[in-house]
Amino acid sequence: MTEITKIGVIGAGQMGAGIAQVCAVAGLDVVLNDVTEERIDHGLATISGNLARLVERKQIDEAAVQTAMSHVGRATAYEEFADCDLVIEAATENESVKQTIFKKASAVLRPGAMLATNTSSISVTRLAASTGRPEQFIGIHFMNPVPRMQLVELIRGIATDETTFTAAKQLIARLGKTAIVSEDFPAFIVNRILLPMINEAIYTLYEGVGSVEAIDTALRLGANHPMGPLQLADFIGLDTVLSIMQILHEGLADSKYRPCPLLVKYVEAGWLGRKTQRGFYDYRSGTPVPTR
């Protein structure tokens, strides 16, 4: 495996744009892809806006922004990944969607190029099996928001070879982040612990133990969490929270991971949190108002 110098990122949403940003700031060439050119444009605008805010905070200068943006390009078709050393998938947390992406991407990559998934919960071994190159496949799970969060989980599939694993570790070090290694179990380490806590907070609301405001205040001030669990659920996206809890429930076959019925109801209503302007808080007025 040669040194990673060019990376493709599939998915230009919050996670994909964040991954592209930290790679570009580290001096790596990045091409960003999504299902439409409008989404790619939105991802590039997100990166530009994030870097502009860092300038305002005097964390970087304008020259650094120009240099970083010069490393970011567009990939409107998978064929533009042909010269990438690594392609990272950061699409929606849906296994069939990811498998389709990997089948298409694997077909255009050169021999020896690596594939990675940013999945937060799905089996890396199963995803690797859809690629035709499971030895060059690995889970690289960045935390959200990517530019601010220090941690990255590395997850080896059953077939991931040592060269791929070493290259991934070296990449994370170059990005200035800290890697931890997780076994390939549902939701890995962070979400195995974090998401059941959020689900329990939703049960606490569902059972009338406390209001949205009381529950979030309790964890902020009583456990020194930076944001309450219901506020965090809205930030993550309630559809993503539900998806991960379903994977935990099905994968570990333990009733303690059963998604709260209230979480299911909110997702069925389309109240997915900040991205839809309503979840456990209503964001439409500009000031978050608890919905319960």
Give residue 2's pLDDT: 62
Residues 229 and 95 in one domain: no
Same-domain pairing of 139 and 78: yes
Same domain? For 143 and 208 the reply is: no
Q: Check pLDDT > 70 for residue 230.
A: yes
pLDDT tens-digit map of 47-105: 999 999 999 999 999 999 999 999 999 999 999 999 999 999 999 889 999 999 999 99
Look at residue 115 in the predicted model and tell me its pLDDT: 97
Residues 91 and 214 in one domain: no
Residues whose CB falls within 8 Å of the CB of residue 230, separated by 6 or more in sequence, listed in order = 198, 201, 202, 205, 212, 215, 216, 280, 281
Q: Are residues 166 and 214 in the same domain?
A: no
Q: Which residue matches tokens 């010069």?
A: 70
Same domain, 177 and 202: no
Residue positions annotated with a catalytic role: 120, 141, 153, 191
pLDDT, mean of residues 193-215: 98
- Same domain (yes/no): 10, 88: yes
**What would the pLDDT profile of 129-171 be if each residue is shown by its tens digit?**
999 999 999 999 999 999 999 999 999 999 999 999 999 999 9
Please calculate the CA angle 52-58-63 and round it to the nearest 5 degrees.
60
Name residue, tokens 């962070």: 190
Split into its structural domains, the chain has a count of: 2
Q: Range of 135's domain?
A: 6-182
> Domain for residue 1, yes or no?
no
Please compute the mean of the pLDDT values over residues 212-221 and round it to a whole number.
98
Q: Which of 182, 203, 225 is the last residue of a domain?
A: 182
Output the pTM of the full model: 0.91
Domain of residue 260, CATH code: 1.10.1040.10
Query: 198 and 175: one domain?
Result: no
- On whether the CB atoms of residues 248 and 186 are closer than 8 A, the answer is yes
Residue 42 forms part of a structural domain:
yes
Same domain, residue pair 216 and 132: no
Say if residue 148 is in the same domain as residue 249: no
For residue 108, is it within any domain? yes
Of 36, 31, 7, nearest in space to 116 by CA = 7
How big is the CA angle at 153 (ends 143 and 242), to the nearest 5 degrees?
55
